[in-house]
Chain A
Amino acid sequence: MPSSRPTQAEPAIRIENVTKHYGSFLALRNINLSVARGEKIVVCGPSGSGKSTMIRCINRLEEHDGGRIFVLGTELNDDVGNIDEIRREVGMVFQHFNLFPHMTVLENCVLAPMLVRGISRSEAEATAKRYLEKVRIPEQASKFPGQLSGGQQQRVAIARALCMQPQIMLFDEPTSALDPEMISEVLDVMVTLASEGMTMVCVTHEMGFARRVADRVIFMDRGEIIEEAPPEEFFSAPKNERTQQFLSQVQTH
């Protein structure tokens, strides 16, 4: 019987035998994954392999229907209190940024800390300005998201998630919707974040980023984790045939 009490030894994320169906389609098949505090995981795989579904289960944007998920020692179940507690500690960055278009960049950043953490506006703005500086766009604070480039929007989205001061960050294909020349500005921010010890789970096809940052690379296909290895091993000597095939496809492009 696994304990649900947070301890130092307790991993940040523990996924046990998780399955997930969309109707009769099996999207996740018996997933097991443990992420230690401070660890950086890169998840890759062909489209439809279940990688997005898996990380969206970690903050309950998707509901798993079998197995158990523990985040920071709290179990994700139908208990709304648990879900709220976990979402406060888990930030997420989306493929399409999902900034709130009717608010300025600064408002985007202070909204959740004020509503959810209940801190004052002045404190929230100070935090927001610090993180906007960290993602290198403090001068855009009073603009609306629609006035920024894709790369800038994604950096604001990262700052917005960081303003909640989460312990874990999830990235769901953060550079897939960006023009090529803007990818590196977003990846640079993610590298900095990783170097500061943030626990990160990134779904991405940026293999260069995976080599530089990841502690482990996970390859998924058809709802299963096929291979799991440190990057140097994963890229130089992939064991599974499907991994080899996938790598040959992404790396020749």
Chain B
Amino acid sequence: MASIHSTSGLEGIRRRFFPTPFQSLLSLLSLALLVTIGWKLLDWAFLSAVFSAEGGPEACRAAAGACWSVIANRWRIIMFGLYPYEEQWRSALACAVVVVMVVLSCLPAFWTGKRIALVWGLGTTLFYFLLKGGVLGLNRVGEEAWGGLALTLFIFVSTCLIGFPLSIVLALLRRSQLPWISRTTGLIIDCVRSLPLVSILFAFAVVVPFMLPGWLQSDKLYRVVFGSALFFAAYQAEIIRGGLQGVPRGQEEAAMSLGIGYWHRISRILLPQAMRNALPATINQFVIAFKETSLVIVVGFFEILASGNAAYGTGQWTFAYVEVYAFIALIYFVFVFSLSRYGAFLERRMAVGER
């Protein structure tokens, strides 16, 4: 059995890559190129790289490969930003809480209203008080000192937590029977979508405080999060509206004929089917939202990318920016790649009812 497979495999390779002398030459050249690049990368990243933190920048300058000791030396700045050094375990714990919370809410076993509310209520409260402190003997750490991965996760999670329900509300208002409601909602969505996110963040951070009464002025971070949630909601609302349009009219009629009321028609019949239609675009939107958290850099927040800039920008490590960015890219990759794999799992799971 195995020999048949391997010969047919070899035969397949021969037919695909070496059908004519010229194509064989091209295949060999490409292979040589790939091997060279692969070897250089391997050599740079591992074989000639400096891993130990001991030698400091000097050891790196002497070596030919990557300088991972910058990560070993400076990872706390990358991960936690300006958060007070001796309190950074709280920031780490808070990140862990978010990851556990997200993983739990991705499990089908937690998809009941009560459980999901419990997980998110408990998770966000824990996250917030871990970061902020001021209770149970934890020192208070102001929002201006939050940074690194914890800040990135905070902005992402709260953008989704506010933006996603808001997007459903906007999508439902936009398909309202009353023209003045649907048109006004449409106008709001189109206005928000017509502006770049950077300008929205800037407006919420800098301009809005002039227009709000004093008692409404919260910390800049919350205004920025709200701006980012609004932006997310405007796009996601259109995605959900598209999903709703894909649900046949007969579905709502059948529910009406059974006497099922508006809210149950929306929550039990229309939205579950609309979300299934909208799933690929929705996952896309979450991925974009995660990556766009880095834009808060323009209003002076030290999320993970800005913290990375600070980590190598102190003079002695300036040469090691490639390694720092590679490390940050890896962190982004781990989060975004798991998100898209989860999206693929959801699509397979939901396809069960489609057959």
Please report A residues at the B interface, Cβ cutoff 8 Å.
59-61, 84, 87-88, 90-92, 94, 96, 98-103, 111-112, 115-116, 144-147, 157, 160-161, 164, 170
Contacts and interface: CB of A to CB of B under 8 A. Distances in A.
A147 B259 CA distance: 26
B250 interface: yes
A96 B250 contact: yes
Interface string B33-66: 0000000000000000000000000000000000
A112 B259 contact: yes
A160 B258 contact: yes
Contacts of B257: 59, 61, 87, 90-92, 94, 161, 170
B115 interface: no
A146 B354 contact: yes
A91 B254 CA distance: 10
Interface residues of B, number: 23
Interface stretch (B165-173, B223-231, B266-274): B266-274
Given A100-B269, A160-B258, A61 B355 contact: no
Given A98-B253, A100-B254, A116 B353 contact: no
Contacts of A90: 257
Interface of B: 248, 250-251, 253-261, 264, 268-269, 272-273, 276, 350, 352-355
A60 B258 CA distance: 12
Nearest to A103: B353
A141 B328 CA distance: 51
A111 B268 CA distance: 9
B130 to A, nearest CB: 38
A156 to B, nearest CB: 12
Contact of A111 (B256, B260, B276): B260
12 contacts: A91-B258, A92-B257, A94-B250, A94-B257, A98-B251, A98-B254, A101-B354, A102-B350, A112-B259, A112-B260, A157-B254, A170-B257
Given A98-B254, A99-B254, A115-B268, 11 more contacts: A61-B253, A91-B257, A94-B253, A98-B253, A100-B269, A102-B353, A112-B258, A115-B261, A116-B258, A144-B352, A146-B354
Report, nearest first, the 4 A-B pairs whose CB atoms are least far apart: A98-B254, A112-B258, A87-B259, A92-B257
Given A59-B257, A102-B276, A146-B353, A115 B264 contact: yes
Nearest to B269: A100
Contacts of B273: 100-102
Contacts of B264: 115
